[in-house]
């Protein structure tokens, strides 16, 4: 049953921002790589694989929560996600083997954060139908801000209390904040329309974004070629982004020769551009259209990945190209939920976006480990090719005009 209580939609946005800020901490995992290697003697590859598990389970959480929240409403799902995410990080503080880290931080936290993540996205596009790209970008920009907030906090905690105790404190904080934000996750009443706004006619472009005026069920959506185009583009864009973001600190120390502190500062800067991409590309896509925005993102990201694979980097060039990667990466996470709502409707948007988001999950499972296994240079070259392919795919992808 959907919640039908009346609430000012700005409170919903506030709750969304709170949840997403906490979820931004998931992208700071590279800060834990070296401390865990030093404390337990695990290999870097094994520790990095934690991030792959976390993000793969994140995608599974989005998929499952999307299905459940369309029936139960977003509040219950967000609260459950907060409990699971917080508990997973807390239990990671007691881990003494890499398998325990995989189970707690990887599986539990990833699943919980994914469940919490989908609720603000799906709820906000219903409350703000007139500015879907902008409002989704604003909500998701908080994820990037979260990375900036938590990076110095995590570095300070690791230095003062150690990596294991850091997990304990973070688990309590993450869980509490997500639950508080989840209490504000309520769907609008049936038939809700903002004052002065009328739904567009089928196929009508509003501020650059084409809305089909159709509501697809998940079964109907997966019968369309557009779904598979979005899935592949999501996979390719996220693969390129995660090859950098998941090991950004390692790239800084190994390729550029930065100290751990300097690499941590770079992670903060990348998080800033990640946030800017979510907000900026969301607003841009409202003006020029989702697919045109995706095309531009793939061009920019492809050039950045090609540069990293061919040109030795200084500290400045490292910051420039990694921030470009973060800016485009954030944009994907803003545009794909918006285009899912535009093309396949808002009635089943949680469920539908969960399926599209699996492109992210598959990518998260393989991309970081691929980069570690084959080396940075080869991985970045492969990512550049994926971006070029996706740019072509974006150019030729058109909205669905009717259900299959």
CA-to-CA distance for 364 and 368, rounded, in angstroms? 7
Closest CA to 211 of 285, 280, 284: 285
CA angle 182–62–356, rounded 5-degree value: 135
Q: How confident is the model at residue 290 (pLDDT cuts 50, 70, 90)?
A: confident
For the chain, what is the mean pLDDT?
86
Q: Which of 39-48, 115-124, 292-301 has the lowest mean pLDDT?
A: 115-124
Would you list the domain boundaries of the chain?
Answer: 9-189+203-396
Evaluate if residue 194 carries a pLDDT over 60.
yes
Least confident window among 103-107, 255-259, 303-307: 255-259
Report the predicted TM-score, pTM, of the whole model to 2 decimal places: 0.75
Question: What pLDDT is stored for residue 324 in this prediction?
Answer: 93
Q: What angle do CA 235, 59, 7 make, to 5 degrees?
A: 120
Residue 176 has pLDDT above 90, yes or no: yes
Residue 212 has pLDDT above 80, yes or no: no
Does residue 20 register a pLDDT over 50? yes
pLDDT above 80 for 136: no
Rounded to 5°, angle at Cα 179 from 177 and 181: 70
Q: What is the pLDDT of residue 199?
A: 64
Residue 4's pLDDT is what? 47
pLDDT of residue 32: 93
Tokens 């058109």 — which residue? 398
Contact 361, 293 (CB under 8 A): no
The region, left, alpha or beta by phi > 0 then psi within -120 to 50, assigned to residue 43 is beta
Q: Give the integer Cα–Cα distance in Å for 104 and 56.
A: 14
Read off the pLDDT of residues 300-314 as tens digits, 9 standing for 90 and up: 999 999 999 898 888
Higher pLDDT, 24 or 302: 302
Mean pLDDT of 262-286: 82
Would you say residue 144 has pLDDT above 90? no
Range among 78-92, 202-216, 325-339, 343-357 rated most confident: 78-92
pLDDT given at position 210: 57
**CATH number belonging to domain 9-189+203-396:** 1.20.1250.20
- pLDDT score of 95: 95
What gap in Å lies between CA 390 and CA 341, rounded to an integer?
Answer: 21
- pLDDT at residue 3, rounded to an integer: 46
Q: Which secondary structure element, helix H or strand E, spans residue 205, and what is its range?
A: strand 204-206
pLDDT, mean of residues 253-269: 80
37-75 tens-digit pLDDT: 999 999 988 998 998 899 889 988 988 887 788 788 899
Give percent of the chain with pLDDT exceeding 70: 93
3-state SS, residue 312: coil
Is 295 exposed, middle or buried (CB count within 10 Å of its CB: 0-12, 13-18, 19+)? buried
- pLDDT at 206 (0 to 100): 47
Q: According to the model, what pLDDT value does residue 2 have? A: 45
Mean predicted confidence (pLDDT) in 309-336:
89
CA atoms of 375 and 378, how far apart (whole Å)? 6
Q: What was the pLDDT predicted at 89?
A: 97
């Amino acid at each position: 049953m959907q919640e039908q209580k009346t609430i000012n939609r700005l409170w919903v946005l506030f709750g969304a921002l709170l949840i997403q800020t906490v979820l931004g901490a998931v992208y700071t995992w590279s800060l834990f790589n070296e401390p865990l290697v030093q404390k337990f003697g695990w290999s870097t590859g094994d520790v990095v694989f934690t991030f792959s598990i976390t993000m793969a389970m994140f995608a599974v959480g989005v998929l499952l929560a999307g299905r459940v929240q369309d029936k139960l409403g977003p509040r219950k799902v967000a609260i459950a996600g907060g409990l699971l995410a917080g508990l997973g990080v807390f239990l990671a503080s007691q881990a003494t083997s890499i398998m325990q880290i995989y189970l707690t931080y990887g599986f539990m936290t990833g699943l919980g954060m994914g469940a919490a993540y989908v609720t603000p996205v799906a709820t906000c596009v219903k409350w703000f139908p007139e500015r879907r790209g902008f409002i989704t970008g604003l909500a998701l920009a908080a994820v990037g801000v979260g990375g900036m907030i938590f990076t110095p906090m995590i570095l300070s905690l690791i230095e003062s209390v150690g990596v294991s105790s850091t997990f304990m404190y973070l688990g309590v904080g993450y869980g509490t904040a997500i639950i508080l934000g989840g209490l504000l996750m309520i769907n609008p009443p049936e038939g809700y329309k903002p004052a002065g706004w009328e739904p567009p006619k089928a196929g009508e472009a509003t501020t650059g974004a084409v809305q089909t005026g159709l509501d697809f069920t998940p079964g109907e959506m997966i019968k369309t070629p557009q779904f598979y185009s979005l899935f592949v583009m999501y996979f390719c864009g996220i693969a390129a982004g995660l090859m950098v973001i998941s090991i950004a600190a390692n790239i800084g120390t190994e390729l550029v020769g930065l100290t751990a502190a300097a690499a941590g500062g770079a992670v903060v800067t990348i998080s800033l551009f990640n946030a800017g991409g979510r907000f900026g590309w969301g607003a841009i896509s409202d003006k020029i259209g989702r697919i045109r925005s995706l095309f531009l993102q793939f061009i920019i990201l492809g050039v950045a990945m090609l540069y990293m694979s061919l040109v030795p980097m200084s500290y400045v060039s490292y910051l420039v190209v990694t921030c470009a990667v973060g800016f485009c990466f954030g944009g994907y996470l803003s545009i794909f939920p918006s285009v899912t709502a535009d093309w396949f409707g808002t009635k089943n948007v949680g469920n539908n976006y969960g399926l599209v988001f699996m492109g992210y999950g598959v990518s998260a499972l393989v991309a970081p480990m691929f980069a570690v296994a084959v080396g940075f240079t080869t991985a970045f070259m492969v990512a550049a090719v994926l971006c070029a392919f996706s740019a072509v795919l974006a150019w030729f992808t058109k909205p669905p005009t009717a259900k299959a």
